[in-house]
Structure 1
Amino acid sequence: MATVDVSDLSAFGLTKELPLVYWLGLAVLTGGFWHCVRDPLRSNLWPLAYTVGLLVFERATQAVVYPTPLYAWAWKHDAVIEHLIDAGRLQRGPELAEMAVYDQWPGFFAAQAAVVKLTGAENALAFMAWWPLLSSLLMVLPLLLIYRTFTQDRRLVWTGVWIFSVANWVGQDYFSPQSMAFLLYLGVIAVALRRAEAPAPGRRARQIVWTALLVPLIAAIVVSHQLTPVMLVVSLAALCVMGRYRDWTLVIVLVLVFAAWNLTASLPFLREAVPDMIKSFGDVSSNLERGYGSVPTGSGALFASWAARILSALVVLLAAAGVFLGGKPLRTRARPLLLLAGVPPLLAIANGYGSEMIFRVLMFMLPFLAFFAAAS
């Protein structure tokens, strides 16, 4: 990587500048993964090692070759953290104007400010570039828990994790509240699905204990991000309605925490945003439109845009094939994952989310589509 020069990149960016050995390394990783995951004598540590290697190739390369983090919003988040450290407190809307939204959902920023103080780092720049790798590695655990709830076939489980890691191009794993909230969302879903498998005796007592344990995760999601709590409420409610997760306690707790936060700390922002939210409700075509600045220009950007679209379409097609090729037993047992994959498009009915809704829909669908894509 020392030979990669990022000072004068072409329209194709880093892709064109990476040496041949990088692409050969990816090929070796892919081949090794497909070989070991089909060998029943191999330990699960082998596919785990290959998956970690893939994520290092995907997420750590930029951190190594670029002198600073790339995504502009990551720098903005670093500024919010510095402001929080310097001010020593949260501030209200009149004090911050357009920046008030960050102080009204401060969970991620407060956590990172604590990390900066505890580690003695000068600021979040010390670890910001490595956040995509860390968040991607952490997502492997809830994915494994979710997939193993519905099958013990390790080929299916690990291939699903691999497909998710390859197809997760949306980029929301950067240094952002969404990355943390999405990780916690998968964690709550994993626990809900796993606990639904628990045997009947003593089930109620265990559900109460697990609900209590999940409350901190739920609270962290609610105080960190605007969209993810909505997605979690709808997902858990859908599981309850279909009878997969029969305890409404967690849903009620989530709704109460969500309502309490929105009616207090985040009320100033919501008071101004609600009229636009009501106006956009039901306007699906407009809500799925990309915003200004998101239309690719130049050969490199167009290539990347079409590659991402083709990749997403391929995962959807493979998932559709997997639903049928996986057989009725898998289709019946994993029906909750079909439901969870079908819930995110409903968000497009509600709001455009700053012209990013289509990307969020794809992101929330991917963990569940990847499972069925692996079955194809």
Structure 2
Amino acid sequence: MPWVLIGLGAAAFGWAAPTLRHAKTSEFGLLAMASPLFVVSIALTAGAFAISVRQHKSLAGSASIALMIAVQRLPSYFATDSPMYSWTYKHLGVVDYIQHEHVLAHGVDVYNSWPGAFAMFAWLSDLSGIPSQDLAHGFTPLFHVALVSLVFVAARAWGLDATQAQTAAFLTASLNWVAQDYYSPQATAMLLTAGILTLIGLSRTRPMSVIPMIVIFSAVTITHQLTPFWLLLVTGLLLLARQMKPWWIVPILAAIVIGYTLYNFKDVDQYTLFSLNVFDNAKSNVPTMGGAGQRTMSAAIRTLSGAMWVLTVLVLLVRLRRKQPFFALAAISLSPMLILGGQNYGGEAIFRVFLYSVVGCSIVLAPALVGLLRSNRMRFGVASAVLVLASLLSAEGYFGGWFANIAPLEQVESSKLLMAVADFPAYVTPIGPSFPQRGTWQYVEFARFDEHFDDPVLQAPNMIGKHFDTDRDYQEFSEVIGSRKAPTYLIFTEQMRFYASYYGLLPLDALPNLEARVRQDASWQLVYDDRGAIVFEHNPDRR
């Protein structure tokens, strides 16, 4: 039976795949606009895994994991022409600079101060001869193959049997809605983190692989700002509970991460280290409420996240009542919530909480899920239904913002061209987010001129929510641009318009209204209108 469902799921995905690239843009995301068989393929895959566990079919379970990765992660490669997410191109720009100059632009931005992933990506591109943009485009599915493999190993290190470890790997593959699986330092750090959690699991009773743990932790430290502090928190909690050996590794890890952060502190000093305001730190970096589609996606991920954490707590309480080991598992699954007591990490702390906890929660939940799937028919049916529903909620969270987050290839090319031909010094300013900025090495020169040279106009005060249909609105916009002492290249795209509407930053008519007023303003000159991008130049000396 599991092989039948796997075959049907693969066939459904194969039939739906051509519709993904050509799906009509909608605020309700890719699941709503692609063939219904896309949703069916996800449900069938989750059902196949549930039956494979019940019937002790480990090979079918592995095939289900592989199919879930294919169904949920391959679309980012074959249904797009270029890497997802506009912020991916900031990473590509750092890699391009390293390849071009063979040095770091230390002090220019936070990326050049935490360069581990970028240096690795540059080396890998040079070694393989594959352009970094192509590596970025295919990164996501390869990342998940590596992640679920490491989760399986980590689960075994934490005492799970082979089926339970396989279940933990499947949960990680199917529940990870957080879009932190792209070409990024965070994704790289998560792979290293899974390796460290494996070594921690082996070191609970006697010292194991101390030197490799220190080496991998050092790699995490030079790669990402927040992840090593969470790992230090985990190891510290385990040390206090006498669940970690040797004790002296914690001071060494603390010296590494604190020393490196102090060395680069000027790049992160804008973040409050310990605000202790949990509710404020849990807020998203998007300050507005989006449309119906965005609210649907948000409801899906809130439901899924809350359910995962609640079920994890319940399983841990059962373990406590049965006098089974629970504290160490609680540390790796629930300790990320303590991040909210420290800072908001630029409005992204709540996303990191789920990302860091998904591996630990999967390890905690896997034995309980296996027990339910192998219990009586009623419990099996309920557990299977919950697993299918959770997979679909995760997919909605992952694909709900698909159309807001794609980066059309023609706009990527326009961005590169603009960086190459723009007069220096200048501001290269998109109206709103979702433009592939800083994609080439030239960005460093502009960033040295002004680190905010490409901040979207919407980041300026009082810009969010305007229609730009009145003289007052346009006057406030003009004051933002007019305060600059260098020329401004102002960028409009349809992608920005959709993104701003999807997240409730601007009404749909705002950018067309503003563009019309800019065209009528003699202080602006049209310099580019091609490949999905419109660029105007404003010179402060022009009258």
Q: How does 1:199-348 map to 2 (within 5 A)?
A: 207=208, 210-264=209-263, 266-270=264-268, 272-273=269-270, 276-278=271-273, 281-291=275-285, 293=286, 295-324=288-317, 328=321, 332-348=324-340
Give, in whole Å, the separation in 1 of the partners of 2:139 and 2:205.
33
Contact 1:211 1:249 in 2 (8 A): no
Offset of residue 115 of structure 1: 0.8
Amino acid across the alignment from 1:344? P
**2:89 aligned with 1:75:** yes
What's 1:64 paired with?
78
Give, in whole Å, the separation in 2 of the partners of 1:54 and 1:294.
33
Give, in whole Å, the separation in 2 of the partners of 1:314 and 1:268.
39
Amino acid across the alignment from 1:216? V
What's 1:193 paired with?
201
- Alignment partner of 2:113 out of 99, 104, 109: 104
Contact 1:221 1:229 in 2 (8 A): yes
What's 1:119 paired with?
128
Q: Which has the higher strand share?
A: 2
The number of equivalent residue pairs is: 352
Residues 17-63 of structure 1, C-alpha deviations (whole Å, 9 max, x = no match): 322333332233222211112223x3x33322211210111111121
TM-score by length of 1: 0.86
Residues 187-221 of structure 1, C-alpha deviations (whole Å, 9 max, x = no match): 112111123355xxxx5xxx4xx121223311210
**2:357 aligned with 1:365:** yes
Amino acid across the alignment from 1:45? L
**2:102 aligned with 1:85:** no
Contact 1:184 1:217 in 2 (8 A): yes
1:244 aligned counterpart, secondary structure: coil
- Alignment partner of 2:67 out of 21, 43, 53: 53
**Greater displacement, 354-363 / 157-166:** 157-166
Contact 2:154 2:198 in 1 (8 A): yes
| Shift in CA distance, 312/241, structure 1 to aligned 2, threshold 3 Å | same
| Shift in CA distance, 4/350, structure 1 to aligned 2, threshold 3 Å | closer
| Shift in CA distance, 190/357, structure 1 to aligned 2, threshold 3 Å | same
Identity of aligned residues (%): 24
Offset of residue 339 of structure 1: 2.2
Residues 310-347 of structure 1, C-alpha deviations (whole Å, 9 max, x = no match): 11122123223333556855x62343111222321111
**Greater displacement, 355-364 / 310-319:** 310-319
Offset of residue 151 of structure 1: 4.2
What's 2:522 paired with?
none
Q: How does 1:157-172 map to 2 (within 5 A)?
A: 157-172=165-180
| Shift in CA distance, 305/84, structure 1 to aligned 2, threshold 3 Å | same
Contact 2:83 2:137 in 1 (8 A): yes
Give, in whole Å, the separation in 2 of the partners of 1:296 and 1:239.
39
Contact 2:77 2:138 in 1 (8 A): yes
What's 1:19 paired with?
35
Residues 260-316 of structure 1, C-alpha deviations (whole Å, 9 max, x = no match): 32243x24324x43xx525x522222212222x354412211111111111112212
Offset of residue 153 of structure 1: 4.3
What's 2:54 paired with?
38
- Alignment partner of 1:351 out of 330, 335, 343: 343
Offset of residue 373 of structure 1: 3.1
| Shift in CA distance, 84/346, structure 1 to aligned 2, threshold 3 Å | same
| Shift in CA distance, 23/303, structure 1 to aligned 2, threshold 3 Å | same
Give, in whole Å, the separation in 2 of the partners of 1:311 and 1:157.
21
2:347 aligned counterpart, secondary structure: coil
TM-score by length of 2: 0.61
Offset of residue 105 of structure 1: 0.4
What's 1:173 paired with?
181
Contact 1:340 1:368 in 2 (8 A): yes
Contact 2:148 2:172 in 1 (8 A): no
Amino acid across the alignment from 2:90? K
Offset of residue 149 of structure 1: 3.6
Offset of residue 85 of structure 1: 1.3
| Shift in CA distance, 105/327, structure 1 to aligned 2, threshold 3 Å | closer
| Shift in CA distance, 138/236, structure 1 to aligned 2, threshold 3 Å | same
